[in-house]
Amino acid sequence: MTRAPLSPRRPADVLGIVAVVLSAVLLVPTLFVFLVGLIPEMNAIWWMGIILLPLLFVDGVIVIVLSVIGLIVAARRAGRRAWSIVALGLGILMLAPAVVILMPS
């Protein structure tokens, strides 16, 4: 009895995983500040949003760059792309508050 040949394992999307973890580092505290700020007695916490917004913008740019590089590498290696696509979505989500505040209407 002969065994079927094993298919080569596709490489993991390391840059996508790193980008998702990096985005979670700032998205979780930002979400916490937003949710706690909705409580009427905790309105004083909104000053933390002033600190987190520039950090969110810079981290979003870094996440988008990492995810685009991860997508390019995955396309060239015919590897997995799911983590990079998720990271790209999170990076765009991280840039949205800064764009809404900075763009005049």
pLDDT in tens, 73-93: 988 988 888 999 999 999 999
Please give the residue that has the higher pLDDT: either 20 or 53.
20
Angstrom distance (rounded) from CA 34 to CA 20: 20
Q: How many CA atoms lie within 13 A of 97 on its CB side?
A: 18
81 lies in some domain:
yes
87: burial class by Cβ within 10 Å (0-12, 13-18, 19+)?
A: buried
95 lies in some domain:
yes
4 lies in some domain:
no
Determine the pLDDT at residue 1: 66
As for how many domains the chain has, the answer is 1
7 lies in some domain:
no
Angstrom distance (rounded) from CA 91 to CA 39: 27
Give yes or no for residue 105 having a pLDDT over 70.
no
Determine the pLDDT at residue 92: 94
pLDDT in tens, 25-54: 989 988 888 888 888 887 777 777 788 888
pTM, 2 dp: 0.81
Q: Which domain holds residue 18?
A: 14-102
